[in-house]
Structure 1
Amino acid sequence: MKKVIVLMTSLFLLTGCVKVSFTGPKKEEKTSQSTSSKKEPLTFVRADQYKDQDNEVLEASEKFIKEHPTLGEAGKVFVFFPGYTFGNEENRFALFFIVNRTTTTIDRDGSFVLNLEYDGEPLFKDVTVDYEINESGVLKPNTAAAIPIKITKEQEEKMKGMNDSSKAKMSFNDFKFKDK
């Protein structure tokens, strides 16, 4: 199956962010807020199973992060949609990035709820997205990972037509970690 990446004609970035709280069976820890005005450059991470593989999507993701090393805000976890879609007739995906700008390593699976609308029309409504370490990698501070989200042909067409960021609204909330 050949994966094809479609870059929208104009680079379109959508952002959602949350402050992350870690809760587990032992105790609750909150991430530290960085107050540094200088941002560390981002590094793209791959899950161990993809580290040595040639993969068009991951290579394009690495290139994007290298070209945009200052994405995100200190002390927060962000989700970005850079405008990439890929796949074939049966399996289509929108590529999102999760960016960790906290001082805490995210080393366990989690999930969050994603909403995306364009020009008042919902594209994703209360979609639960799973972040799996074995698929996307461990997110150390100042790293980004790819999260593909399955989409329909209709969603892809609407996403290709998103060319005015003032008409787009994305939210990313309810980030929950699974117990280790």
Structure 2
Amino acid sequence: MPAADRLVILDRDGVINQDSDDYVKSLDEWIPYPAAIEAIARLNRAGWTVAIATNQSGIARGYYDVEELEAMHDRLHELVHDAGGEIAHIAHCPHGPDEGCECRKPLPGLLEEIREALAMDSLEGSWMVGDSLRDLQAGEPMGCRPVLVRTGKGRRTEEKGEGLEDALVFDDLAAFVDWLLAH
């Protein structure tokens, strides 16, 4: 069981890979940031656990199916493994914004799934890294420390400024990892 203060939870689109306002709908459209893949591996090599919490409403909207999502995640696992790391768990919400589920961020359901999957008592003190306010809000009730990256929708989120009072802000995941490993 990983220690909560050695866990980094990442949003996917805009943090690990390029985001799209038209949704990332296929493996061909899933384009990782090379520095993010290496950053995940660096965290692992330094003794950190990495998990992912990602809203994937494109499934509910019929843009792609669970098999296509799994192909993207298989590729992600492969790239991180090839870089010398691993992702402990990927939690995804397949629901649309109006379905009333408990897992869609900003609700903490995906983080609760990660906590259970990793057999942790609490996520208090872990890090929640995202490019939108809802990513950071999902971590709040779980006691996660918020980090905004400027990739993806991050610059737009930063410009709005609301709800970021407690968040650390970095240019990208690699810059956050540089900071984290230096502290």
Q: Which has the larger Rg?
A: 1
Identify which of structures 1 and 2 has the higher relative contact order when contacts are C-alpha pairs closer than 8 Å and 6+ apart: 1
- Larger helix share, 1 or 2: 2
TM over 0.5: no
- Larger strand share, 1 or 2: 1
Structure-2-length-normalised TM-score: 0.28
Structure-1-length-normalised TM-score: 0.28
